[in-house]
Structure 1
Amino acid sequence: MNFSIKKIIVITLVVISIIAALLGCDSDSGSEPDMEFHKKNQLTTIYKYGISPLNTDFVKETTTLVETIKRFQNDATLVNLQAAQKQWKAIQKVWKQLELYDLGNIASSFISFEINRWPSDIQRIDTNIKGTQVLSTAFITSLGSSSKGISGIEYLLFSNIENTSVLDMYTTDTYASRRMEYLLALSEDLQTKSIALQALWQTHGDGFTTALENGISGSQNLVVNAMVALIEEVILTKLGKPLGDSNGGTVDTQLLEAYYSEFSKEILQQHLIALQMCYTGNFGQNTEQEGFDDILELIGSKDVADKLIEQFSVCQSAIDAIQGSLQEEIISKPAAVVALKNSFRDLLVLIKIDMANRLGTTITFNDNDGD
């Protein structure tokens, strides 16, 4: 083989190598720079269209609650009591979506405990009402989280199945005046905490959307772990304990979250809505819908993406199958509640194992582990 032929062969091989490399770059949609671009879009979508609007709504609803309770204080009628109860439910619908995003710097602040520590210490609440302490802002601030917040307000507004009996506690009871003062003070403290939470997110929002690294400090990793923790809480605590999973099978409806208000099913609905919107990136008011499903398709895991979409529908169907309140159904048709719990368990497997493995997520230990 002469020198010219060798030279042609070498040049040809070099050209082929360059073309192959270029084609490889074009087809490698999961390359590191490309993944960072999509991850940035996904996190921006979550913050801009999910977290930020929820914080705005939460401040708005807590402010309205304060106004509603002040009207109730000035005119303690059944109508005004019912208005306060309705507004409490409006707050829960927002909070139970926002609760998903208790992560990173927000979780480290422990502000969520101040906003909603469940279950409430009702004995301590009653002791505070019957005490002699001035129910000032400083006193409320000094209280443990289980004596205030959303759950504490629920107890004060729904402490009896008969609203006429609840109203009596604010009108004719020996401690009626202090009970009203305590209720108003808790609502004002909740409003203050909602404003503080919004400020925290405004401070840390940019950090959330730019933490693109893999590993436990990356925002995508934090979000996946938050989804896992919430679903585990639903399975083990919000459904499992009332069903008797941890006490030999004895059903106990008083272990349901929002037992007094019979709002347990609606809370689970809001959790599911938050989880699904976070997964798809479809928050209703945006066109920049970059979600986990898009990331999974990007890395060639459309099978997992589709299974998750299907499982969200299964969970929704299981909630829809609960005809009355969760309190009623767990007694009369426990099988339907078990089916609901199992639907969330299947969702957990898909997120904690299938999706997490495909994304390279590090699942960290949380208090609900043990499923």
Structure 2
Amino acid sequence: MRKFIYAALIAASTIIAIQSCKKSGGSTTPEESPAFDRKAMLINISANIILPAYTSFQTATANLDAAVTAFNASPDNTKLVALQSAFQAAYKQWQSTSVFEFGPAETATLRVNVNTYPTDVNQINANVTAGTYDPNILANLSAKGLPALDYLLFGTGADNNAILLMYTTDSRAANRRAYLAKLSAELKAEAATVLSGWGSYRATFEGSVGTATGSSTSSLINQLVYDYEILKNYEVGIPAGVQSMGTTFPTKVQAYYSKMSLQLALLHTQAIQNIYTGKSAQGDGQGLDDYLIKSNAKAKDGSSLNTTILNQFAAAITKLQGLTDPLSANIVSNPAAVTAAYTELQKLTVLLKTDMTSSLGILITFGDNDGD
């Protein structure tokens, strides 16, 4: 994950152009097809998906910070369990929030500040020992956010009794409590800043109805694909050894210490599917699926591209549901099943990153070495 993020920060302006505006099989370009109301799609996605996601994440991080404050005031097992639960709720909500790295989130570099993993345990312990922590230095990028809290709340002892000792009787207990407070306060502030920024950015997002690079549709699709690459590669592929020449790295899964990696991967996949379909608590609104249908986009076999994409989402989710948490243990005990899940995720990558963008005339503007 760190290599992926660092490369993205350094090469954010790299453009890999997918030149074709027509799909094989007779689909038309967006310009040739009957007009699709992109503004209605953007309004639905901003009002019913993006803003609720940021609002829920802001609430979850505020609850997490409050739980840290309560725990630090008088640490005990009951407050530790409550804090762990608040952390898990925030991490789950992040899966519906991470994709929107444009506008205020891009300005705040929210994704890397919230969820750079695997976390650097040595750096965390060095910060605890020193009693100092600077969130702005590069070394601490992997020692903050949700992954750092994952270690601090679940990985510092064999069970909750042992973890509690690290915050009560351990010689660095006070430093560790202070570190917890700083990390949770940062998350709360970052979530609030981005949500506040959407107050003015929303009109900009909904009003940018073109498809050129920098438009809202382009930004949304690029970040949907980028975030999906993170899901496929870093939540599953690299830990499973698929992208590391067969060498597995079970400890590199997301949320390794709290042992909910698979649950998060499923939530992440379903959240991306909801963005694609425009589905929210308000119902099934205008989404990218409707855009493809209106464009008469075809898969390579001549069938509906939208139907093919929906079927592949279902296939990938089914394979993930066949696994169990902790995913790290599945990688060791049932590697073939994890690889099979990755294979279905990879098939969806091609459909989203190549076929969908080509059909809609959207350029992929981030660089990677995924080989698609």
TM bucket (normalised to shorter chain) is: 0.7 to 0.9
Q: In the alignment, residue 153 of structure 2 is paired with which amino acid?
A: L
Contact 1:232 1:368 in 2 (8 A): no
Q: What is the CA-CA distance between 1:31 and the residue it aligns to?
A: 5.9
Alignment of 1:257 with 2:258, yes or no, is no
Partner residue of 1:314? 315
1:368 to 1:238, Cα distance in 2 relative to 1, 3 A:
farther
Q: Is the 8 A contact 1:100 1:271 kept in 2?
A: no
Structure 2: distance between partners of 1:222 and 1:205:
14
The residue that corresponds to 2:295 in the other structure is: 299
Which residue pairs with 2:226 in the alignment? 229
Among 120, 134, 142, the alignment partner of 1:146 is: 142
Please give the alpha-carbon distance, in whole angstroms, between the structure 1 residues aligned to 2:233 and 2:206.
Answer: 31
Are the aligned partners of 2:33 and 2:296 in contact in 1 as well (CA < 8 Å)? no
Q: With structure 1 as the length reference, what TM-score do the two structures score?
A: 0.85
What's the counterpart of residue 127 of structure 1?
126
Are the aligned partners of 1:161 and 1:260 in contact in 2 as well (CA < 8 Å)?
Answer: no
How far apart are residue 29 of structure 1 and its match? 12
How far did 1:47 drift?
Answer: 0.6
Alpha-carbon offset, residue 231 of structure 1? 2.2
* Conservation of the 8 A alpha-carbon contact between 2:166 and 2:173: yes
Gaps of at least 5 residues in structure 2 are: 1-27, 299-303
Tell me how far 1:104 sits from its aligned partner: 4.6
Counterpart-to-counterpart distance in 1, 2:334 and 2:250: 13
Q: 2:195 aligns with which of 188, 193, 198?
A: 198
CA contact (8 A) 2:242 2:339 kept: no
Residue 75 of structure 2 aligns to a residue whose secondary structure is coil
CA spacing shift, 1:325–1:228, aligned 2, 3 Å? same
Cα displacement (A) at 1:33: 11
Q: Are residues 140 and 301 of structure 1, via their aligned partners in 2, closer, same or farther at CA, if it must alter by over 3 Å?
A: closer
**How big is each residue's C-alpha offset from its partner over 1:69-92, in whole Å with a ceiling of 9 and x where there is no partner?**
222122322221111111111001
Partners in 2 of 1:368 and 1:271 — Cα distance? 22
| TM-aligned CA deviation for residue 142 of structure 1 | 6.4
Q: Which moved more, 1:139-148 or 1:318-327?
A: 139-148
Please say if residues 39 and 212 of structure 1, whose CA atoms lie closer than 8 Å, have aligned partners that are also in contact.
yes
Cross-structure match for 1:83: 82
> Relative contact order (C-alpha < 8 Å, sep 6+): which is higher?
2
Partner of 1:361: 362
> Which of the pair has more CA radius of gyration?
1
* Greater share of residues in helix: 1
Q: Which residue in 2 is equivalent to 1:112?
A: 111
Residue 284 (structure 1) shift: 2.3
* 1:47 and 2:46 matched: yes
Other-structure match for 1:328: 329
Matched to 2:226, the amino acid is A
Matched, 1:208 2:211: no
Give the direction of change, closer, same or farther, for the CA distance of 1:84–1:368 in structure 2 (3 Å limit): farther
Paired residues, number: 338
Partner of 1:22: none
CA-CA distance at 1:108 after TM superposition = 4.0
Whether contact under 8 Å (1:228, 1:351) holds in the other structure is yes
More displaced stretch, 328-337 vs 72-81: 72-81
Q: Report the Cα distance in structure 1 between the residues aligned to 2:206 and 2:103, rounded to whole angstroms.
A: 12
The 1-side partners of 2:104 and 2:222 are apart by 14
What CA distance in whole angstroms lies between the structure 2 residues aligned with 1:33 and 1:236? 34
Counterpart residue number, 1:156: 152
Given the superposition, is the C-alpha separation of residues 318 and 260 from structure 1 closer, same or farther in structure 2, using an over 3 Å criterion? same
How far has the Cα of 1:51 moved from its partner? 0.7
With over 3 angstroms needed to count, the CA separation of the structure-2 counterparts of 1:351 and 1:29, relative to structure 1, is closer
Q: 1:71 to 1:109 in 2, by over 3 A?
A: closer
Partner of 2:269: 272
Q: Is the 8 A contact 1:170 1:180 kept in 2?
A: yes
Unaligned runs of 5+ in 1: 1-27
| Equivalent pair of 1:140/1:185 in contact (CA under 8 Å) | no
Match of 1:283 in 2: 280
Give the C-alpha shift of residue 179 in structure 1.
0.6
Q: Deviations over 1:178-232 (max 9, x none)?
A: 1112112211121111101112222322111111122211211222211221222
Structure 1 residues 276 and 82 mapped into 2: Cα distance closer, same or farther (>3 Å)?
same
The equivalences for 1:5-16 within 5 A come to none
Percent of aligned positions that are identical: 29
1:333 to 1:230, Cα distance in 2 relative to 1, 3 A:
same
- Post-superposition shift, 1:245? 3.1
Deviations 1:302-361 (A, max 9, x none): 700111111111111111101342112111111111111111111111111221111111
| 1:30, distance to aligned residue in structure 2 (A) | 6.2
Match of 1:179 in 2: 176
Q: Deviations over 1:46-83 (max 9, x none)?
A: 11011101111111111111111222122322221111
Determine the C-alpha separation between the residues in 1 that align with 2:137 and 2:325.
39
Q: Is the 8 A contact 1:214 1:221 kept in 2?
A: yes
| Partner SS for 2:280 | coil
Alpha-carbon contact 2:213-2:363 (below 8 Å) kept: yes
Change (3 A) 1:367 1:84: farther
How big is the shift at 1:141? 6.0
Deviates more, 1:257-266 or 1:100-109: 100-109
